[in-house]
């Protein structure tokens, strides 16, 4: 039995303008009334341009929803056209930020070094990073999922203290399971999530390993979340498609029944 609070994070990706985002977050607040939100952290990661609206809705309705960015700049401020800094996110009440999502790595050429710099920028701004790792299909077929994912964990967390690692969130998202409907089996998820925790234990000690939250992501739905959550090293889920429907995402957050 874990003492870690489960965390369900909804990654809206490049979906929903601010009006649609407002409707979703208000409806999610409504749906979460049926969920014991003291037992689960519910987080949404809207597009940047929706954040101000989400902040207003969450504050006005005192909704049990935390929110954050899907990315941030590695830089603090300055001449970086198109970028958003960690401080800009915290100024909007964000508490989380996703870093190194496979879509950032794949379509924006994000390297391990950049991912690591972004994790450090998140901490510098007072944000909790959700570091995303996970293997592509060919690595899985070659049986290298653990080795591949751990190399990304090591790269992303390079130079961090045990205290920072303890409060980090690491999301294991096998690339072949993202947006494909192809969910990893609970045993597949457990294998890599456990290996991540053991890597943290070896490098940063028991306190960090027992505290760090390791999520699974990849085609999570209300119909499969409970069996994934039964695994001892799966502390929650990073959810894409299913987080765009309030009722469905609330059911995921309320997986305990």
Residues that bind ligand PEP (CB under 6 A): 11, 13, 173, 178-179, 217-220, 238-242
- Please tell me the distance from the alpha carbon of residue 114 to that of residue 89, in angstroms, as a whole number: 18
| Residue nearer to ligand PEP on the CB measure, 46 or 241 | 241
- Please tell me the distance from the alpha carbon of residue 247 to that of residue 31, in angstroms, as a whole number: 6
Candidate list 101, 103, 139, 164, residue with the active-site label: 101
Closest CA to 89 of 47, 149, 138, 134: 47
| Residue nearer to ligand PEP on the CB measure, 53 or 70 | 70
| Residue nearer to ligand PEP on the CB measure, 166 or 218 | 218
> Taking the complex as a whole, how short is the minimal distance between the CB of residue 77 and ligand PEP, in angstroms?
28
Q: 204 catalytic, yes or no?
A: no
> Taking the complex as a whole, how short is the minimal distance between the CB of residue 91 and ligand PEP, in angstroms?
25
| Residue nearer to ligand PEP on the CB measure, 53 or 224 | 224
- Please tell me the distance from the alpha carbon of residue 16 to that of residue 65, in angstroms, as a whole number: 17
- Please tell me the distance from the alpha carbon of residue 163 to that of residue 191, in angstroms, as a whole number: 25
> Taking the complex as a whole, how short is the minimal distance between the CB of residue 9 and ligand PEP, in angstroms?
8
Helix H or strand E segment including 207 = helix 206-211
> CA of 212: how far to CAs of 62, 132, 187, in Å?
27, 14, 20
Shortest Cβ contact with ligand PEP: which residue? 240
- Please tell me the distance from the alpha carbon of residue 257 to that of residue 252, in angstroms, as a whole number: 10
> Taking the complex as a whole, how short is the minimal distance between the CB of residue 46 and ligand PEP, in angstroms?
13
Candidate list 26, 103, 173, 248, residue with the active-site label: 173
Q: 164 catalytic, yes or no?
A: no
- DSSP summary character for residue 2: -
Instruction: Please identify every residue annotated as catalytic.
Output: 101, 173
């Amino acid at each position: 039995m874990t003492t870690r609070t489960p965390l369900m994070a909804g990654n809206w990706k490049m979906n929903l303008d601010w009006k649609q985002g407002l409707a979703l977050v208000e409806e999610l607040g409504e749906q979460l009334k049926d969920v014991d939100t003291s037992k689960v952290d519910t987080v949404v990661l809207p597009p940047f341009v929706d954040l101000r609206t989400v902040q207003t809705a969450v504050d006005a309705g005192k909704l049990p929803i935390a929110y954050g960015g899907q990315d941030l700049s590695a830089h603090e401020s300055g001449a970086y056209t198109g970028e958003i800094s960690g401080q800009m996110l915290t100024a909007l009440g964000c508490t989380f930020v996703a870093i190194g999502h496979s879509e950032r790595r794949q379509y924006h050429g994000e390297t391990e070094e950049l991912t690591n710099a972004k994790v450090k920028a998140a901490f510098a701004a007072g944000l909790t990073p959700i570091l995303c790792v996970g293997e592509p299909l060919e690595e899985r077929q070659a049986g290298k999922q653990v080795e591949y994912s751990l190399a990304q964990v090591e790269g992303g967390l390079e130079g961090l203290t045990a205290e920072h690692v303890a409060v980090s969130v690491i999301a294991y998202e096998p690339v072949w399971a993202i947006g494909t409907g192809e969910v990893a089996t609970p045993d597949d998820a457990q294998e890599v999530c456990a290996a991540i925790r053991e890597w943290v234990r070896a490098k940063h000690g028991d306190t960090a390993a027992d505290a760090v939250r390791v999520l699974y992501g990849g085609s999570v739905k209300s119909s499969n979340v409970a069996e994934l959550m039964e695994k001892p090293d799966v502390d929650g889920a990073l959810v894409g498609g299913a987080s765009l429907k309030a009722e469905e995402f609330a059911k995921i957050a309320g997986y305990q029944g």
